Amino acid sequence: MGSSVGDGAKLQPSREGGRLCVRCGERKAALKRPKTLEQICRECFYVVFEDEIHQTIANNSLFKAGERVAIGASGGKDSTVLAYVLSELNRRYNYGLDLFLLSVDEGITGYRDDSLETVKRNEIQYGLPLKIVSYKDLYGWTMDDIVKAIGLKNNCTFCGVFRRQALDRGAALLKADKIVTGHNADDIAETVLLNILRGDIARLSRCTFITTGEDGPIPRCKPFKYTYEKDIVIYPFYEIYRIYSPNAYRGFAREFIKDLERMRPRAILDIIKSGENFRISTTTRMPEQGTCECCGYISSQTLCKACVLLDGLNRGLPKLGIGRTKVGAGSGDGMQHAKHSERNRSSLQGKHGNLDF
Ligand SMILES: Nc1ncnc2c1ncn2[C@@H]1O[C@H](COP(=O)(O)OP(=O)(O)OP(=O)(O)O)[C@@H](O)[C@H]1O
């Protein structure tokens, strides 16, 4: 996520001047750790930060030795720090992973160009092979083209749906066993709240999973599930922002989470915990996972969301498939399937982008 991560997260000199680090008791405390408010020295901060991520990986058995792991690398702060920490931990603890950087070029002039440069630098700095896949190559449309067709309002849906699938397709080209993303604790807490607000129980039940898609072609993991955004920015920080319509709905949840965090830093973990504790009645009917009839990608509908959106774009009907629009209305072609599927769709499909990870 781009944005307001700087507040309160910068290295803060100890107000007491000479106070010692609560961890080592030897060096002077150099910052107040955002997650715990401990006064801590830089050296100990790096150790606990990396150690917590290692514990998360180990406790959840995220990887097996020999796996090929594609790191979703956007060039933003989270995935940049993730690439660095994961390559360090892989070396230090002999995870035995083959790590790759995987970037999706959405085709947003003046935005992705710069962050791709960051990823290219990371390829050299961290010694990790880089694969770039683009919307233009995969779908025939850049985000710039899509925005021209649909305007600024609904483009988040395209970006989210296409990116999700593009990551899978890029990872398949890399023959990856897993994809890891830089989603952090704040992102997950926001998503829990958003799914509660939308009454989206299907997504609520899975948005706190550290690994998703185990029934699909390539599972995805979030090693930063318990890592605070403010802790991450103490590592190298890259200011990024969305130039096409920030997701306003998510913005409200973000502000709310930041307010809660100011009052009580644990609030982020508490929200994740409440999402984890969420249980669905066994009698509730949930969408069944199948494959898209058009492209073969996993989908709970006859056609996956990307194919529905792409069909709309190619037919000059870019709003097809946005929100709860009845898809395929009036069309006599294969998209009739989508019409049927969309009718069956519950309120799980929203107009504010994809709330899956
Ligand atoms: N264009 C992309 N190419 C590859 N991976 C991506 C891309 N965009 C997002 N991701 C992956 O999804 C995660 C969450 O993306 P999101 O857009 O929410 O950005 P973010 O939270 O700001 O993360 P980052 O700081 O890494 O950009 C990223 O950390 C990254 O792993």
Q: Is the CB of 74 under 6 A from ligand 1?
A: yes
248 among the known binding-site residues?
no
Q: What is the pLDDT of residue 342?
A: 37
Determine the pLDDT at residue 248: 60
- DSSP conformation letters of 134-192: EHHHHHS--HHHHHHHH-SSSHHHHHHHHHHHHHHHHHHHTT-SEEE----HHHHHHHH
Local structure of residue 28 (DSSP, 8 states): B
- Ligand 1, from 82, 128, 181: best to mutate by most atoms within 8 Å of Cβ? 181
Q: Which residues pair with 333 in a beta bridge?
A: none
Instruction: Kindly give, in sequence order, each residue whose CB lies less than 8 Å from that of residue 15, ignoring residues fewer than 6 positions away.
Output: none
- Which pLDDT score is estimated for 294? 86
Q: How far is the CA of 168 from the centre of ligand 1 (A)?
A: 14
CA distance 281 to 341: 24
Question: What is the ipTM, given to two decimal places?
Answer: 0.96
231 carries a ligand binding annotation: no
List the chain domain ranges: 47-276, 290-344
Token pair 């796996």 is found at 67
Backbone φ and ψ of 72, nearest 5°: -65, 105
Ligand 1 contact, 186 CB (< 6 A): no
- Residue burial 91-107, b: 16+ Cβ < 10 Å; e: rest: eeeebebbbbbbbbbbb
Q: What is the mean pLDDT of each run of 10 residues along the chain (357 residues)?
A: 38 60 94 90 93 97 97 93 95 98 92 85 94 95 89 80 93 97 96 91 90 88 96 64 53 87 93 89 76 83 88 83 48 38 36 50
Best of 69, 71, 74, 230 for a ligand 1 pocket test (most atoms within 8 Å of beta carbon): 74
3-state SS, residue 341:
helix
Looking at the CA of residue 170, tell me the nearest atom of ligand 1: 4
Cα–ligand 1 centroid distance for 181 (angstroms): 7
* C-alpha to C-alpha distance for 195 and 75, rounded to whole angstroms: 27
pTM listed for this prediction: 0.81
At residue 349, the pLDDT reads 37
Among residues 313, 314, 344, the alpha carbon closest in space to that of 326 is found at 344
Second CATH level (architecture) for the domain 47-276: 3-Layer(aba) Sandwich (3.40)
- Position 62 scores a pLDDT of 97
